[in-house]
Amino acid sequence: MRHLLDTKSLSPAEALRILDVAEDMADTQQREVKKLPTLRGRTVVNLFFEDSTRTRISFEAAAKRLSADVINFAAKGSSVSKGESLQDTAQTLQAMGADAVVIRHGASGAPRTLATSGWISAGVVNAGDGTHEHPTQALLDAYTIRKRRFGDDSRGRDLSGVGVTIVGDILHSRVARSNVWLLHTLGARVTLVAPPTLIPQDVSTWPVRVLYDLDEAIAAQPDALMMLRIQLERMNAAYFPTEREYSRRWGLDARRLQGLGADSIVMHPGPMNRGLEISAEAADSPRSTVLEQVANGVSVRMAALYLLLAGAERDADSTDATRKGTTR
Ligand code: NCD
């Protein structure tokens, strides 16, 4: 794998390969000594043009567990035109000898520009670009669903027949987009629920069912209910009357939580607006996988960095990362 820019272009075999390598990485994280020598001498740059807490530290933890050197580059708030500033920054990183660049950017497509520009030779991982994609988030979500469903028997399995309902600010959500493509590729049935104003115009071309009524969606007993953050920072207009009204109609409250099937899980990528899209009861309930998602995120990002930098053919040193999964 040269870059990880989106989930839309991942084949089922590629997606499963990443999830299965993440399983191997997770196994190594149960050991007393968690650090693997796999990426010793390699440099991973976290290039974040947008705020982030969990995604940045998750990539940092992943790179460090693989013994890579990590440089954190917070490049927020540049007034230079996007293309120029990205080019200058990229060339600086190239000069520093970056082997992989993990980029988060407010402009959809910035990671692809970086990967295809010729400015750098490093592998590029998209850590969220505008409203476009956030592939490692979708991969950790799929990993979490698979793990809850199949436990230690997860390797090699896809999500055929699994029902996933994604609720909320679909319009502004790169998490929703990456999940729609990946979950579809893995065989899951995806339903979107939101007010009509927060459903993208091109949704008719997506492999999903769209509902506007959360109670109807819950009555259909999804296996996973993924609540999305209302992205107030990306809203330049009124997309719903009031927060209270939004919460009443599309928020996961205690009553709706009760309506879920015995084994269904509640997911949220974080950061949560407690009391808006998700109640404290739901966020802290045993059904909630919020913290599992965070923990699984490190394993998935270790897998992504491993596949980018160590390559499928390389010997996995002390991991057994090449043992299973589809070959590419
Ligand atoms: C998501 C993001 O940045 O797209 N968060 C994250 O990666 N932890 C979702 C969000 O901000 O709501």
CATH number reported for the structural domain that contains residue 66 in this entry: 3.40.50.1370
Inter-residue contact 144 to 267 (CB < 8 Å): yes
Whole-number Å distance between alpha carbons of 306 and 321: 9
**Cα-to-centroid distance, 175 and ligand 1 (Å):** 7
Inter-residue contact 279 to 252 (CB < 8 Å): yes
Q: Say yes or no: 182 and 34 in one domain.
A: no
Whole-number Å distance between alpha carbons of 244 and 217: 20
The CB-side HSE value for 111 (13 A sphere, CA atoms) comes to: 29
**Cα-to-centroid distance, 284 and ligand 1 (Å):** 19
Question: Region 210-236: what's the mean pLDDT?
Answer: 95
Query: Residue 33 pLDDT more than 50?
Result: yes
Tell me, what DSSP letter sits at residue 192?
A: E
Ligand 1 near 174 CB (within 6 A): yes
Whole-number Å distance between alpha carbons of 57 and 199: 31
Query: Residue 173 pLDDT more than 90?
Result: yes
pLDDT band at 317 (very low <50, low <70, confident <90, very high): very low
Count how many domains the chain has. Answer: 2
Q: Say yes or no: 266 and 309 in one domain.
A: no
Query: Residue 93 pLDDT more than 60?
Result: yes
Question: Region 92-111: what's the mean pLDDT?
Answer: 94
Query: Residue 65 pLDDT more than 60?
Result: yes
Q: Say yes or no: 146 and 249 in one domain.
A: yes
- Taking Cα atoms as reference points, which of 60, 122, 132, 109 lies closest to residue 308? 122
- pTM of the entire structure? 0.93
Torsion of CA 231, 235, 239, 243, to 10 degrees: 50
Is residue 320 in some structural domain? Answer: no
Whether the ω angle into residue 271 lies within 30 degrees of 0, i.e. cis, is: yes
Q: Say yes or no: 161 and 258 in one domain.
A: yes
Sign of the alpha-carbon dihedral angle for 98, 102, 106, 112: positive
The ligand 1 atom nearest the CA atom of 231: 12
What are the strands, taking DSSP E only, across 13-169? 43-48, 69-74, 100-105, 123-129, 163-167
- The model's pLDDT over 238-266, given as tens digits with 9 standing for 90+, comes to 898 899 999 999 999 999 999 999 999 99
Whole-number Å distance between alpha carbons of 326 and 257: 38
Q: Say yes or no: 71 and 192 in one domain.
A: no
Mean pLDDT of the chain: 92
> What is the per-residue pLDDT for 38?
96
Q: Which residues pair with 308 in a beta bridge?
A: none
Question: Region 227-235: what's the mean pLDDT?
Answer: 91
pLDDT band at 150 (very low <50, low <70, confident <90, very high): very high
Query: Residue 314 pLDDT more than 70?
Result: no
Query: Residue 271 pLDDT more than 80?
Result: yes
**Cα-to-centroid distance, 319 and ligand 1 (Å):** 30
User: Please, is 136 exposed, middle or buried when counting C-beta atoms within 10 Å of its C-beta (0-12, 13-18, 19+)?
Assistant: buried
Structural domain range at position 25: 12-134+296-315
Whole-number Å distance between alpha carbons of 92 and 312: 29
- The model's pLDDT over 181-222, given as tens digits with 9 standing for 90+, comes to 999 999 999 999 999 999 999 999 999 999 999 999 999 999
Alpha carbon of residue 183 to chain centroid: 12
Q: Say yes or no: 276 and 166 in one domain.
A: yes
Q: Say yes or no: 182 and 309 in one domain.
A: no
What are the tokens at 142? 């799929």
**Cα-to-centroid distance, 52 and ligand 1 (Å):** 8
Where is average pLDDT lowest: 39-53, 251-265, 302-316? 302-316
**By alpha-carbon position, which residue is closest to atom 12 of ligand 1?**
229
- Taking Cα atoms as reference points, which of 50, 10, 315, 34 lies closest to residue 136? 10
pLDDT band at 320 (very low <50, low <70, confident <90, very high): very low
